[in-house]
């Protein structure tokens, strides 16, 4: 990868709708070639962590609700759609969907951002269990937990694009 535009095009979406993270990683000299998954993930996470609280909140707010309105309307990014489908969130019963909707509403009201979990390795039951536990957290704990989950999601997405190294 020889230039910023190529890098941002390829990695700008690994943090949901937040290409500024890839832009800053490139601009701040954090990207070393040849590209490998581990170092790229570390570089992007370093920029995310260096961002202001408001900027990180913006990244959290860019994520869709799990099994929410965007999923039903077909408005998810391809990555989010695939991730949610992999966990079975596209095949919920009416009762399960109602539970997700209720939890999404409560969580958003309590924290001001959607519930975020790296769904790889989870199914709908383990996601619901985590949701029901985490909705009881205080705001500071949940903000930190959601940020850590965003970094996990980015890692999975980067590993799908690049070899380990």
- Sorted by where each begins, the domain ranges of the chain are 64-149
Contact 87, 124 (CB under 8 A): yes
Determine the pLDDT at residue 89.
74
What proportion of the chain, given as a percentage, has pLDDT over 90? 67
Q: To the nearest 10°, the Cα dihedral for 4, 118, 100, 122?
A: 140
Determine the pLDDT at residue 1.
57
pTM of the model: 0.87
Decide if pLDDT at 75 tops 70: no
> What pLDDT, in 10s, does the model give residues 38-69?
999 999 999 999 999 999 999 999 987 776 55
Per-residue confidence band for 114, with pLDDT thresholds at 50, 70 and 90: very high
Q: Which of 41, 63, 97, 122 is catalytic?
A: 63
Q: Is 63 a catalytic residue?
A: yes
Instruction: Tell me the CATH class for 64-149.
Output: mainly alpha
Establish how many alpha carbons lie within 13 A of residue 146's alpha carbon, considering only the half-sphere containing its beta carbon: 30
């Amino acid at each position: 990868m020889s230039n910023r535009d190529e890098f941002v095009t390829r990695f700008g979406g690994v943090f949901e709708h937040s290409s500024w993270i890839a832009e800053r990683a490139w601009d701040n000299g954090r990207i070393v070639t040849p590209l490998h998954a581990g170092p790229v993930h570390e570089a992007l996470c370093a920029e995310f962590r260096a961002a202001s609280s408001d900027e990180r909140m913006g990244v959290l707010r860019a994520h869709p609700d799990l099994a929410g309105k965007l999923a039903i309307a077909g408005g998810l990014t391809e990555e989010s759609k695939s991730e949610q489908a992999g966990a079975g969130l596209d095949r919920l019963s009416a009762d399960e969907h109602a539970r997700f909707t209720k939890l999404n509403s409560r969580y958003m009201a309590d924290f001001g951002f959607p519930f975020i979990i790296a769904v790889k390795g989870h199914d709908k039951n383990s996601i619901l269990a985590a949701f029901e536990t985490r909705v009881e957290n205080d705001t500071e704990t949940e903000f930190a937990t959601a940020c850590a989950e965003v970094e996990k999601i980015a890692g999975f997405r980067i590993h799908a694009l690049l070899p380990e190294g």
